[in-house]
Amino acid sequence: MNYLIRNVSILGGEPTDLLLQDGVISEGAADGAEEIDGTGLVALPGLVDLHTHLREPGREDAETVETGTRAAAMGGFTAVHAMANTEPVADTAGVVEQVWRLGREAGHCDVFPVGAVTVGLQGERLAELGAMADSAARVRVFSDDGKCVSDAVLMRRALEYVKAFDGVIAQHAQEPRLTEGAQMNEGELSGKLGLTGWPAVAEEAIIARDCLLAAHVGSRLHVCHVSTAGSVEIVRDAKRKGWDVTAEACPHHLILTDELAATYDPIYKVNPPLRTAADVEALRAGLADGTIDIVATDHAPHPHEDKDCEWAAAAFGMLGLETALSIVQATMVDPGLLDWNGVAERMSYAPARIGRVAEHGRPIEVGEPANVVLYDPAARRTIDPTDSASLSRNTPYRGMELPGRVVATFLRGKPTVLDGKLV
């Protein structure tokens, strides 16, 4: 089936027609193509998420590759990188290939497994990074996300080692000793609420160290979920020096602050924690000026009982795939900080580059793979947790009115979402 999208605005440009034929973007005669009215819609390149938790294998009570990729498609993603903190950990070729295969079989979006940096995420010795890179999954991004590679020597070795196959270490920056038992951002509110604080310096100190290490050994470094103004400054400084550092910000850090913890509702518990309004502002500015290269969701599904309890007992993490684009529109596009070209860069081209994913993050031009998202920026929706493709319900935006709606998602010309619904 081919698709002709009429009168659509590609990246915010003048409305035109867009033909998806035989899996690529085409031009010319559109015989037998199904027509889609693109009036009022924006066409974006299929989004690429560099940071998702699909939970399979091991935590299928929270999410599976099937349900997670469905949620991804609903959010406009055609590719996601699945983090390695599964059970068993994705630290061998065997596990990453399993995840990769599950993604192909589900067929809702492409899954690129992330390999663990250390065996079992224990932070003691390197996992077989080469084997994972050579596997069918062709892993290029390695991360112990959930935990920090805190040992400086181990981080150095990892940064050096992956150069052999153009890999990148994606660091979850969290100094473990400074954040023992931490529950929320350390600041005015944590003292009042009696919740152990997670100080900004625990993130910034690791980022600073890793930037220096990467520069020293001539490696590239990717920093996951940057959350503080100080971290943005450090990354900006590293880039100024010409160091090969990339960074991501999560949608929730662009819009939510630590004030929400005052409700003691663990729906707002996340790692790194929600920070202050000043941090949110710095992140938006950093995303606008390119200091922060990409938006990544850190989609972290959790079953109901892991959030329906007292704060200290609750799991860290929030859903993100289905609301990411709306959050970016609300915080960046509508206020004029980023245009649709910018969104394409931050949510498709750049993540694909960092992940070395060739078939995604391509411009919407004739000949390119037909990985396209049709988005309606004029729509408004109130977020309803029960109306989600994810298996879990832990979205912090329930009841919030957000702009925009994904109308259709095409994966190599095949629709995964049509008319706002899963195909």
Where along the sequence are the contacts to another protein (CB under 8 A)?
A: 186-197, 199, 263-265, 305-306, 308-314
Cα-Cα-Cα-Cα dihedral sign, residues 24, 25, 31, 33: positive
Query: How crowded is the C-beta side of 337, counted as CA atoms within 13 Å?
Result: 19
CA atoms within 13 A on the CB side of 325: 36
**Residue 80, amino acid:** V
Q: How far is the CB of 308 from another protein (least distance, A)?
A: 6
Compute the least distance from the CB of residue 265 to another protein, in Å: 8
CA distance 333 to 263: 30
Question: Which among 298, 306, 339, 384 is annotated as catalytic?
Answer: 298
**Cβ at position 306, least distance to another protein in Å:** 7
Strands (E), 312-413: 372-382, 401-411
Q: Which amino acid is at 55?
A: R
Q: How far apart are CA 335 and CA 297, in angstroms?
A: 21
Angstrom distance (rounded) from CA 225 to CA 165? 24
SS3 (DSSP) at 274:
coil
60-76: b (≥16 Cβ within 10 Å) or e = bebbbbbbbbbbbbbbb
Nearest residue (CB) to another protein, 55 versus 302 = 302
CB of 92 to another protein, least distance (A): 29
Strand residues in 84-238 grouped as ranges (E): 110-113, 141-142, 168-171, 184-185, 197-198, 221-223
Cβ proximity to another protein: between 1 and 313 the closer is: 313
Length of the chain equals: 423
Closer CB to another protein, 113 or 197, in the complex: 197
Report the Cα–Cα distance between both ends of the chain, in Å, rounded.
13
Query: Of 85 and 190, which has the nearer Cβ to another protein?
Result: 190
SS3 percent helix, strand, coil of the chain, rounded to 5, is 35, 25, 45
If one counts every other C-beta atom within 10 angstroms of the C-beta of residue 107, the result is 14
Shortest CB 190 distance to another protein, Å: 7
C-beta of 280: minimal distance to another protein in Å?
Answer: 18
- Known catalytic membership, residue 151: no
**Active-site residue numbers?**
298
